[in-house]
Structure 1
Amino acid sequence: MSTLLIPAQVAVGKVPSVNTSVSLEFGNENRGIVLPWVTNTAAVTGAVNGTMVYDLSDHKVKTKYASGWKDLSIDATGTTVDPLTSVDGVLIQNAHDEDANAEVTIGSTQTSDTGILILEDKDKAMILPKVASPHLNIINPAPGMMVYDTTAKQLAVFNGKVWSFWKP
């Protein structure tokens, strides 16, 4: 297993943050983060609350919440087929080798939680990529994409066909 421990703040696509409450932050370039694709959330073992994935069984973005998985997509028409090429994204992903033990941890503590990207600090947060009206400005979003909509001031997730928006 390869593990990378990063004990500081990390910025992707921007100058590093000066805010000490941030562990991971993204730039503002009409791009989002794409969540890990899983065959089915039932097959995800050891998931802790806050784990987020794109479930290929029903094409939905989900988060681990209490004793189950909460659907963030709402719409049931999601897909992994690229409308421009008619190519199934799952086939593209399956063609690549994956290191099932790969893991990146950002933070100062080590836990037994498993995941691809683990943010460990108890007093820091991740700032999502910020995009104004992502449904208009992200030209070809990937299934499982997630951003913060700066126009509507809400979380936006893409299920492969439509965006769903969440506001507290």
Structure 2
Amino acid sequence: MGTLLIPGQISIGSIPAVNSSVSLEFGSENRGIVLPWVTSTGAVAGAVDGTMVYDLSDHKVKTKYASGWKDLSVDLTGVTGTAVDIQNSATENTDAKVSIGTPTSVPGILVLEDTDKAMVLPKVASPHLNIINPAPGMMAYDTTAKQLAVFNGTVWSFWKP
């Protein structure tokens, strides 16, 4: 297992990162971020508050809170078909981790460890119309409706502050 230390901000799909209060920033393409698929939230050991996953047991995007897991996929009909089984054939390396910021022992695949920065989701105008073939567990910020968009494999759910 290796360690990669990355100082400052990271930008994917745009250069350079435009906001100094951001750890991870995405470009403005019609793409989202796909969360890790887990067999169930019960199988996620050591999840800390703020952890986000796509739960294959009920086809929902969920986030961890102190009181348990919160469902972000309002619709119950999510699916993971063979055409989008992007993680099923992979062998999980439970030690794999990418850390942005000062590394800690917090478990996760991609851990943003800055205490004074945040992640900005990919920004897409009407992702339900403009992201072609979204994968289950995909998230983006809808710049048209100004809300979080979450895809469960069948339909998009939208969250507004």
Q: Same fold (TM over 0.5)?
A: yes
Say which SS state the counterpart of residue 48 (structure 2) adopts.
Answer: coil
Residue equivalent to 1:99: 93
Which residue of the other structure, out of 131, 146, 150, is the alignment partner of 1:153? Answer: 146
Check the 8 A contact 2:37/2:87 in 1, yes or no: no
Distance 2:105 2:60 in 1: 27
Please show how residues 76-115 of structure 1 align to structure 2 within 5 Å: 76-81=76-81, 87=82, 89-90=84-85, 92-107=86-101, 109-115=102-108
Q: Structure 1 regions of 5+ residues with no counterpart?
A: 82-86
Answer yes or no: is the 8 Å Cα contact 2:142–2:148 preserved in 1.
yes
**Per-residue deviation, 1:159:** 0.1
Aligned counterpart for 1:131 among listed residues 124, 127, 151? 124
SS at match of 1:5: coil
The count of corresponding residues between Structure 1 and Structure 2 is 161
Q: Which residue of 1 aligns with 2:26?
A: 26
Question: Match for 2:131: what amino acid?
Answer: I
Give the distance between the partners of 1:103 and 1:138, measured in 2 at CA.
Answer: 28
Amino acid at match of 2:118: A
Q: Is the 8 Å Cα contact of residues 24 and 119 (structure 2) preserved in structure 1?
A: yes
Q: What TM-score, normalized to structure 1?
A: 0.91
1:23 corresponds to which letter in structure 2?
A: S
Matching residue of 2:46:
46
Match of 2:110 in 1: 117
Structure 1 residues 10-19 or 43-52, which shifts more?
Answer: 10-19
SS, match of residue 45 in structure 2: coil
What is the root-mean-square deviation of aligned Cα atoms in Å?
1.3
**Structure 2 equivalent of residue 37 of structure 1:** 37
Secondary structure in 2 matching 1:100: coil
Q: Deviations along 1:24-67, whole A, 9 cap, x unmatched?
A: 00001100000000000001011010000000000000000112
Report deviation, 1:88.
5.3
Identity %: 76
Q: Take 1:123 and 1:93, find their aligned partners in 2: how far apart are those partners?
A: 32
Aligned to 1:10: 10
Deviations 1:105-124 (A, max 9, x none): 001x2322100000011110
| Structure 1 segments of 4+ aligned residues over 6 angstroms from their partners | none
